[in-house]
Amino acid sequence: MNLILEVWRQKNANDTGSFVTYEAKDIIPDMSFLEMLDVVNEDLIARGEQPIAFDSDCREGICGTCSMVINGIAHGGLRGTTACQLHMRHFSDGDTITVEPWRASAFPVIRDLVTDRDAFDRIIQAGGFVSVNTGGTPDANALPIPKTDADEAMDAAACIGCGACVAACKNASAMLFVSAKVSHLALLPQGKPEAERRVLNMVKQMSIEGFGSCTVTGSCEAVCPKEISIDFIARMNREYGKAILKNRTDSKEGA
């Protein structure tokens, strides 16, 4: 199959950037989207041109680095699928495909389709961890965790931090990502001691990074490759509300 690609090219963060048209020839339908880009890049290199810059690592839908907007939808719009899992058989011969990077001020473009997503790392550094000394590693069955809580925590932990939720949100909100990280630990005994400090610090850092507010449109859930539920946003809001009230109560008692 032969395709026309409209690809966003941008030399660096200070460049204005623009779309450039390329031909993708003799593409095998069973190729992944990234393999198709590899073929295009091989042709560009052979012609002495700069290849298209894009991120990839595992190419198995685990690492979350293959962040790109395909035909206006993060990761291409196939439900529960990353760009590296999107196969060319979902397109038709002769199609024109638009490829661009995440669009959010908190994710500045580094080059072409590569964006700086360090903002997510800083949010995790603000509180997405357990630092208390819990002693040696106990047997998993020895921890009294209801199965429903364990299952929900695992659902939240499935978030790969790709940033599709931010790219899809009209406000560039990171609430789905942050709520997944907060909920994952809030549901487990190991995360309880630092629960209040965690949610306060992570929400504060999210605001510092310049992410927008959540207006619950559900677009984040629709494009999430791990199908993280927006129910976690409600859970995080409850955790945040409890932490605020607890802090106010402690402040009054200490006055």
What tokens were used for 6?
Answer: 């409209």
Domain count of the fold of the chain? 2
- Of 209, 199, 198, nearest to 174 by C-alpha is 209
| Helix or strand (DSSP H, E) at 154 | helix 147-157
Contacts of 56 (CB under 8 A, 6+ apart): 34, 65, 66, 84
- Of 122, 52, 123, nearest to 83 by C-alpha is 52
100 and 144 in a single domain? The answer is: no
Q: Which of 111, 134, 152 lies at the terminal end of a domain, its last residue?
A: 111
Give strand ranges (E) for 73-185: 73-74, 96-100, 109-111, 114-115
Across the range 169-195, mean pLDDT stands at 94
67 and 126 in a single domain? The answer is: no
Looking at residue 253, its pLDDT comes to 64
Q: Which of 66, 88, 111 lies at the terminal end of a domain, its last residue?
A: 111
- Whose tokens are 């809580």? That residue is 149
Q: Which of 111, 140, 156 lies at the terminal end of a domain, its last residue?
A: 111
pLDDT band at 142 (very low <50, low <70, confident <90, very high): confident
Contact 219, 166 (CB under 8 A): no
pTM over 0.75: yes
- Of 88, 77, 170, 184, nearest to 129 by C-alpha is 184
Looking at residue 143, its pLDDT comes to 74
Looking at per-residue confidence, does 192 or 45 come out higher?
45
CATH number of the domain that 126 lies in? 1.10.1060.10
210 and 228 in a single domain? The answer is: yes
Say yes or no to pLDDT of 255 above 60. no
150 and 205 in a single domain? The answer is: yes
138 and 197 in a single domain? The answer is: yes
Contact 163, 107 (CB under 8 A): yes
Which range marks the domain in which residue 86 is found?
A: 3-111
186 and 103 in a single domain? The answer is: no
Phi/psi at 30 (5° precision) = -80, 0
- Of 237, 197, 196, nearest to 213 by C-alpha is 237
136 and 85 in a single domain? The answer is: no
The DSSP code for 105 is T
Question: Can you state the percent helix, strand and coil of the chain, rounding each to 5?
Answer: 40, 15, 45
106 and 148 in a single domain? The answer is: no
CATH number of the domain that 88 lies in? 3.10.20.30
Looking at residue 135, its pLDDT comes to 67
49 and 86 in a single domain? The answer is: yes
pLDDT digits (tens, 9 = 90+) for 39-90: 999 999 999 999 999 999 999 999 999 999 999 999 999 999 999 999 999 9
What tokens were used for 158?
Answer: 């499935």
Q: What is the CA radius of gyration of the chain?
A: 21
Phi/psi at 106 (5° precision) = -75, -10
**CA dihedral (158, 161, 164, 170) positive or negative:** positive
7 and 104 in a single domain? The answer is: yes
DSSP codes, 27-41 = --TTSBHHHHHHHHH
Whole-number Cα distances in Å, 204 to 106, 122, 131: 14, 11, 19
168 and 220 in a single domain? The answer is: yes
68 and 139 in a single domain? The answer is: no
- Whose tokens are 């677009």? That residue is 219
